[in-house]
A and B are shown apart, each in its own frame.
Chain A
Amino acid sequence: MTGLSVSLHLATRELWRNRGRFLLFSMVIALITVLVLFIAALAEGLADANRQYLSKLDAQLMVLGDRADGILTASRIGRSRMAAVERVEGVAAAGAIGFSTANVIDPLPKTGSPLRVSLVGVEPGKPGEPPAIQGRGLSTIQAGEVVLDRAVLNQLQIAVGDTLTIQTTQGTQDQTYTLRVVGVSDNQAYLFQPTLFVPMFTWDRIRPKGEGESAASELTVGAIAVRIEDATQAEAVRARLLDSVSRVEVQTVKETYENLPGYSAQQSTLTTQSVFTLLIGVLVIGGFFQIQILQKVPQIGVLKAIGAANSTVGTAAVIQIVLVTAIGVALGSALTLLLSLGMPASVPVAFTGVGVATAIAALLLIGPIGGSVSVRYAIQIEPLRALGL
């Protein structure tokens, strides 16, 4: 205990008496912290903007067309397959989902340009329809209704009960359709765009189509979302679906959004950036403390010569590294919080508890990892150095 109290005394006295230098270094760690936290938030924000709708689905499995290769945007599947899917043992409910895009031309957002949105067709009351947090859900009998993503509502400055006009291309002509807002869903972006949810038959009528496509006999959707009775039986139900329904692929919702074009590549790029930033942090912290120790060699020699144990000197060095790193990470976290408050809504950063906690834990670890070389060096300094030998 004596050794620890001496270490604490030496470490804190040195920090306090050289607080300018150490604070400056803590600021360097703070900037590294800001960088790491923002990269983590950007990764989360970008991932979220891609998968927001899919990750909130009340479903566990997605049935795709067999030539999709697991890629939702490439999947085409006949809506009639929904009945076959629903008959499979273990399936609680299934809902077809159609994906396309549209422009909202009235009202216009503040930018004055039409708002580009994801136009998603869902089966009212079936998996795929988002819960309405305001107003009501879509009706099975009423056409021309729309449930809006909250982000769209805010950007267009409209409310439940209002109407909006969208424009899509039908063959070679641009067509406009007026829809009535009946409900608002939580943020449900899909592929970076805010989303309008419409009943499947409305979707099929208003979605962009190529020439001659409108004559197709069967309604073709993107995928069928499947809610199963027992979530632990996902693998068994998946196998049964593959057996019972011909020419389909089945994957989990997580696999579905991970297979979205660019999703994994984007995430791994950002993860690599985070890792490299942390590595740079290790080198910077390691370099700083190594220089510190090199400057203190005679002084450490004297401490050891007068009877300070190696453990006392080593612990003092570790305490300093941990404190300087912790102060830097705390300052950086506070700075990140301030910066995030002033960040425009268009920048896709999302600070989640797990993401921030993981980044902070990693940042707190890089101090001891970076400083370990200097601690080892401090322990190895011979007390004879005090006598110049």
Chain B
Amino acid sequence: MYALETRNVTKTYTLEGQPINAVKEVSLAVKPGEFIALVGPSGSGKTTLLAILAALLAPSSGEVMIAGRDLAKLSEGQRVAFRREQIGFTFQANNLVPYLNALENVELMLRLNGKLDKAGRERAKEILTRLGLGNRLHNLPGQMSGGQQQRVAIARALIHNPAVVLADEPTASLDTERAFQVVETFSGLIHEQGRAGIMVTHDLRMVNFTDRVVMMRDGVIAATYETRAEIEALATRGHADEHTAPAPRPQPVGAFNLAAAAV
């Protein structure tokens, strides 16, 4: 039984009358307790795929099943409820609500789900303490380092026991040492709690902490690395943009206005 499964997912946009596939025929399955990395050069479609998996964007065709539910069959209201119940999310930037302290940011997920009780509060404190933020519970995001903020975001992504945890470039604004710490912590918690984790990253060095690496290029899955040896070999290659060989593309995907085209 997979926590997340996609079958032939395609997302097509129209630019100046020409259909462009941002994601094309992607089939992917992630088991509970499995942590995968989605890598690829800029414009390869990995963020679009992440948006589809997060129920933020509807695919043009194909099927997305998460926690046994077909996302295509959900109404807009149900998708919002689905995101807060079944998805944990960390983002590249503006991750935390700036006027809520670390503890309140983590509790927010429980609050949104109407499940903030005494036990929930204790669990939020516990997870933050475990992530080394026991003395930062009442600090606002602006009073914490980038690494600390990412750890708060990780705690927020896991506190409500979602089926799937998605991370969009979680190390983009961190130095190397903190980046490794954050991804190692993230990976440890995903494995320990049995969540399905998907991390989008440019930094191939981070894939060492994952169980599988899916390389995307021009909207399709170009390669999958599953064995330890393959993953470690990939990790030594460094940055995705530098070392993968993107095929020539007729149109820059980054120019599309995905928000406007969202269904």
Contact = CB atoms under 8 A, between A and B. Distances in A.
Interface of A: 2, 5-6, 9-10, 13-14, 17-18, 298-299, 301-310, 312, 382-389
Contacts of B98: 299
A389 B259 contact: yes
Given A302-B91, A384-B51, A389-B258, A2 B112 contact: yes
A305 to B, nearest CB: 6
A309 B117 CA distance: 21
A389 B112 contact: no
Contacts, number: 90
A46 B83 CA distance: 61
B158 interface: no
A24 to B, nearest CB: 16
Contacts of A385: 259
Nearest to A17: B99
B50 A387 contact: yes
B50 A382 contact: no
Nearest to A389: B258
B154 to A, nearest CB: 13
B112 A306 contact: yes
Contacts of B223: none
Contacts of A387: 47, 50-51, 56, 91-92, 168
A275 to B, nearest CB: 36
Given A302-B94, A306-B84, 8 more contacts: A2-B111, A2-B114, A13-B100, A14-B99, A298-B94, A306-B109, A307-B87, A388-B47
Contacts of B131: none
A309 B80 CA distance: 6
B218 interface: no
A6 B113 CA distance: 10
A302 B95 contact: yes
Contacts of B47: 387-389
A310 B80 CA distance: 9
Instruction: Name the interface size band of chain B.
Output: 35 or more
Given A14-B99, A384-B57, A384-B262, A306 B89 contact: yes
Contacts of B94: 298-299, 301-302, 386
Interface of B: 47-48, 50-51, 54, 56-57, 77, 80-81, 83-85, 87, 89, 91-95, 97-100, 104, 108-109, 111-114, 140, 156, 168, 258-259, 262
Contacts of A304: 80
26 contacts: A2-B111, A2-B113, A2-B114, A5-B111, A6-B108, A9-B111, A10-B97, A13-B99, A13-B100, A17-B140, A298-B93, A299-B97, A302-B91, A302-B95, A305-B56, A305-B83, A305-B89, A306-B84, A306-B109, A307-B87, A307-B113, A384-B57, A386-B91, A386-B94, A387-B56, A389-B57
A388 B156 CA distance: 20
B9 to A, nearest CB: 16
B80 A307 contact: yes
B51 A307 contact: no
Contacts of B108: 6, 306
A310 B87 CA distance: 18
Shortest 6 CB-CB distances between A and B: which pairs?
A: A307-B84, A2-B114, A389-B258, A298-B94, A17-B99, A307-B83
A309 B85 CA distance: 12
A14 B109 CA distance: 17
A307 B262 CA distance: 17
Contacts of B168: 387
Contacts of A303: 97
A316 B84 CA distance: 18
Nearest to B107: A9
B90 to A, nearest CB: 10
A384 B52 CA distance: 10
B74 to A, nearest CB: 13
Contact of B259 (A14, A302, A308, A384): A384
B112 A307 contact: yes
Interface hub of B57, B104, B259 (most chain A Cβ within 10 A): B259
Contacts of A6: 108, 111-112
Given A298-B94, A384-B262, A388-B92, A306 B83 contact: yes
Contacts of A10: 97, 100
A306 B84 CA distance: 5
Given A6-B111, A302-B91, A383 B84 contact: no
Contacts of B85: 307
B153 to A, nearest CB: 9
Contacts of A309: 77, 80
A183 to B, nearest CB: 66
Interface hub of A305, A310, A389 (most chain B Cβ within 10 A): A389
B136 to A, nearest CB: 16
Contacts of B109: 306-307
A243 to B, nearest CB: 71
A310 B76 CA distance: 11
B56 A308 contact: no
A9 B262 CA distance: 30
Nearest to A381: B259
Given A302-B91, A305-B91, A382 B259 contact: yes
